[in-house]
Homo-oligomer: A and B are copies of this chain.
Amino acid sequence: MSKAKTKSQFKDFLLTQGLKSTRQRELILDEFLHAGSHLSTEDLYLRLRRGNSRIGYATVHRTLKLFAECGIAEQRHFGDGQTRYEASDCDEHHDHLICVVCGKIVEFEDPRIEELQVEVAGAHGFSIERHRLELYGCCPGCSI
């Protein structure tokens, strides 16, 4: 999804929810879209500080939660005790390969796995709402 589209989706969300568009929210969204993926609240907060923006940590935290609610961001948990966020690619879904040595994160999507998940859930009478698949191992760079 284009940055412009994401921004307007957030604006619409604020409007329909009776929330306000503020300088802080604009700055946080800009930085979020500009920065790399899988950022923690702390990461984004520090990036904003390094710029000139004096935005409070609580505001960054609350705004990232708003992004997730709005659907323009996804929360991720890779087991380091921090919640991370990444921009949603519209309807695109992906899972993650995580290097246990250097922390590198690679995204992948495999329709065969997705399909089997639905099948397995169905066999147990479950309807899947979401899932989480993370493969932890050693990346090519670290296994030399």
Contacts and interface: CB of A to CB of B under 8 A. Distances in A.
The residue among A124, A133, A135 with the most chain B CB atoms within 10 A of its own CB is A135
A11 B110 CA distance: 43
Nearest to A79: B77
Given A131-B133, A132-B132, A140 B125 contact: yes
23 contacts: A77-B79, A97-B121, A97-B126, A106-B124, A106-B126, A110-B116, A113-B120, A116-B116, A117-B133, A121-B135, A121-B137, A124-B139, A124-B140, A125-B140, A125-B143, A127-B138, A127-B143, A128-B136, A128-B137, A129-B136, A130-B137, A131-B133, A132-B133
B127 A137 contact: yes
A1 interface: no
Interface of A: 77, 79, 97, 99-100, 106, 108, 110, 112-113, 116-117, 120-121, 124-140, 143
Contact of A136 (B77, B116, B120, B132): B132
A128 B133 CA distance: 13
Contacts of A97: 120-121, 124, 126
Q: Shortest 7 CB-CB distances between A and B: which pairs?
A: A125-B140, A128-B137, A126-B137, A129-B137, A131-B135, A132-B134, A133-B133
